[in-house]
Amino acid sequence: MLRELRTFLAVVRHGTFAGAGSHIGLTQSAVSAQIQRLEEELGFALFDRTGRAATLNAAGRQTVELAEELLSVYARLADRGRGADQSGLLRVGAIASAQTSFLVGAIRRFRDEAPGWRIRVVPGVSLNLLAQVDSGELDLAVIIKPPFALPAELNWRTLAMEPFALLVPRRLSKQPWRELLASEPFIRYDRSSFGGRVVDRFLRKLRMTVHDVVELDELQGIVGLVAQGAGVAIVPQSAGLHLPRSVTTLSLGDDTFVREIGLVERSAHGQQSAAEHFADCVHTVTEALRRR
């Protein structure tokens, strides 16, 4: 029921099922299904429904305060009986490229300095991880900066700016990047991800027509497809990418654009000191990598 209560409060906060879904990484139908399950468990309706519209009713308004109190008590219960500054479980979300690069060093550093803490790394795409931090399911997450303003309760710390380049089979390395985009099959960075949206805006801005053959979110998978000769791709030059000798990157010159990688965390949280400590470890490691 806790998940359903969080979804209910998201609907109250954002006004509609669709608005809540876009912020917590669920479809409108999934939000509707969770609200329906919650109403069935409580035994009363929370919203008055007219067609596709849903308006919070009197019982729903009374439930808001109780739901907030219940979730607050549950958060305190998770911390009870342990020294919050000395031990516990830190839940860290991370996109795939972060898990294979600086996150490894940050975890090792944090464990050396705070051995009483356990870390659970939760993989995912940036939009879902952001929603999980917002809902309190994660303590912090390393994600691509979203193309919209963060909720006021969340803090953002920039870790890295990763320029994009055209990834091509080495045999094509002497050809201009614009000609390759126009002539070669295109392996697209998933447009439902924040990074993929940046690539899509770049192509639209330049009015480039590409021949899509596959679309996926996993960057190392894109590298593998290019290595197999399946096409070319625009990817960020991430420290977590491993490029075989059969592929190379071509600079986009003056048209180069970047994706911003950062750490998002809640402004106030029961485990804030540990989360901030881990965030400092991540920042220290990324700074060291940048100096190299």
* Residue 246 shares a structural domain with residue 165: yes
Range of the domain at 130: 88-160+261-291
* Residue 72 shares a structural domain with residue 93: no
pLDDT digits (tens, 9 = 90+) for 92-113: 999 988 888 889 999 999 999 8
* Residue 13 shares a structural domain with residue 66: yes
* Residue 179 shares a structural domain with residue 197: yes
* Residue 230 shares a structural domain with residue 94: no
Q: How many domains is the chain built from?
A: 3
- Please tell me the least confidently modeled range out of 84-93, 125-134, 227-236: 84-93
Question: What are the tokens at 261?
Answer: 């990688």
Which carries the bigger pLDDT value, residue 21 or residue 154?
Answer: 154
* Residue 134 shares a structural domain with residue 220: no
Single pTM value for the model = 0.66
* Residue 237 shares a structural domain with residue 276: no
Report the CATH number at residue 124. 3.40.190.10
Helix segments in the chain, DSSP class H: 2-14, 17-24, 28-42, 58-79, 96-99, 102-113, 126-135, 177-183, 194-206, 219-227, 272-291
Report the CATH number at residue 61. 1.10.10.10
* Residue 99 shares a structural domain with residue 172: no
pLDDT digits (tens, 9 = 90+) for 47-63: 888 776 788 899 988 89
> DSSP string covering 194-211, please?
HHHHHHHHHHHHHT---E
